[in-house]
Amino acid sequence: MSLIVQKYGGTSVANPERIRNVARRVARYKAMGHQIVVVVSAMSGETNKLIALAKEVMAEPDPRELDVMISTGEQVTIGMTALALMELGIKAKSYTGTQVKILTDDSHTKARILDIDEHNIKQDLNDGYVCVVAGFQGVDEFGNITTLGRGGSDTTGVALAAALKADECQIYTDVDGVYTTDPRVVPEARRLDKITFEEMLELASQGSKVLQIRSVEFAGKYKVKLRVLSSFEDEGDGTLITFEEENKDSEMEEPIISGIAFNRDEAKIIVLGVPDKPGIAYQILGPIADANIDVDMIIQNTGADGTTDFTFTVHKNEMGKALAVLRDKVQNHINAREISGDDKIAKVSVVGIGMRSHVGIASQMFRTLAEEGINIQMISTSEIKIAVVIDEKYMELAVRVLHKAFELEES
Ligand code: ASP
Ligand code: MG
């Protein structure tokens, strides 16, 4: 007997028939003798609808009230899933985040999970229930409803799996696994049987939408066995997220590049002509961090004539806020020649563990882009990733030519 957490995304619970389908799969696993915790998203499109409704009343909705609204999508699907299970004669019980007590911090709309009280769920599982838990939501220490950021149900699933010490966390979605890149951009993209946790983390942070990045971080920290599968197919093993040690003695040579991610959600902030002296980076980025704005890439030029240029990227939605912080709180200290923003950019990244032991991956990537006349605006690297910022209009082309250059297509 295993304890399995199954998380179902919005398309998997999009209507009553699909919810019945979820219930039938859960029933099959239950019949094999497993204990099952189900985590569901809202029906697809529902969260967007709720956000739009809020915005009709207040252009920039108050975050606490927005969370009260957008957490309701999942409250509908937990009830429906529990009902569908009962219809199959299975004992089932739904839980909101508050009812479980998924304790989070108080950063509304992007809260972090601090602790999960697994006690009641454990008790119910032992009494033969399937527990159906609302994804995406939690509660802060004062009882306010919080949400975990878009795609946050993945994180609920993995965090619950960690808290319950589950044997496996299965993420059911509308694709049958993790692909070398998005098949909508490159039809030849290939499903990966397995991918290391570190590669998955890079892919998720570079824009692959298959898993919310926090869920991958959680899986890594607590060594949760994670698998991505299709909820529309009964067969298939999906993609297993492995830990590198487990791959060590595999005979096959691992591919050098595992995948290509892209992201159109970032904007570039350019600060030109600031004094080249200690403390400047902190003076620029400190207030940005204090405003709770996430920064991704950061580049500082070598100084010339006592001044230097500073460029960084933030989420597109936060470009206006970041520029306002710089103009209101920073400019009078640093006296930059110019502060500007550009949101017509895209980031394209190649990711692969094999980069550690192979040289020339970066030059191959740059040559491939150069051959298409694509200008690179920013570059950042990690041990297993090379990311470039380019004009957004060349993004799909860049992904296609890189996919081909690194021979990732169906073999
Ligand atoms: N319903 C939420 C969203 O659309 C959470 C999720 O689906 O994971 O972002
Ligand atoms: Mg999702």
Tokens representing 28 are: 């099959």
Q: Is 211 helix (H, G, I), strand (E, B) or coil?
A: coil
- Measured CA to CA, the distance from residue 318 to residue 350 in angstroms comes to 25
Question: If you measure from the C-alpha of residue 45 to the centroid of ligand 1, how many angstroms do you get, rounded to a whole number?
Answer: 9
Question: If you measure from the C-alpha of residue 234 to the centroid of ligand 1, how many angstroms do you get, rounded to a whole number?
Answer: 24
Q: Where are the alpha helices (DSSP H) in 304-394?
A: 319-325, 331-334, 361-371
pLDDT reported for residue 252: 56
pLDDT reported for residue 235: 82
Asked if 74 and 134 touch (Cβ cutoff 8 Å), the reply is: yes
| Ligand (nearest to CA of 74) | 1
pLDDT reported for residue 35: 98
Nearest-CA neighbor of 131 among 115, 120, 145, 142? 120
Residue ranges in the chain whose pLDDT is less than 70: 245-254, 411
pLDDT reported for residue 207: 79
Place of tokens 């590049």: 257
* Mutate which of 40, 136, 209 for ligand 1 pocket (most atoms within 8 A of beta carbon): 136
Rounded to 5°, the CA angle 183-233-198 comes to 55
Q: For 156-213, how does the pLDDT look when each residue is reduced to its tens digit (9 = 90+)? A: 999 999 999 999 999 999 888 999 999 999 999 999 999 999 999 999 888 788 899 8
- Residue 136 CA: which ligand 1 atom is closest? 5
Question: If you measure from the C-alpha of residue 212 to the centroid of ligand 2, how many angstroms do you get, rounded to a whole number?
Answer: 7
Question: If you measure from the C-alpha of residue 210 to the centroid of ligand 2, how many angstroms do you get, rounded to a whole number?
Answer: 7
Q: 3-174 — its CATH code?
A: 3.40.1160.10
* Mutate which of 67, 96, 153 for ligand 1 pocket (most atoms within 8 A of beta carbon): 153
Domain coordinates of the chain in residue numbers?
3-174
Which residue's CA is the closest to the ligand 1 atom numbered 9?
150
| Ligand (nearest to CA of 72) | 1
Pocket of ligand 1 (CB under 6 A): 9-10, 41-42, 47, 73, 135-136, 150-154
Question: If you measure from the C-alpha of residue 411 to the centroid of ligand 1, how many angstroms do you get, rounded to a whole number?
Answer: 34
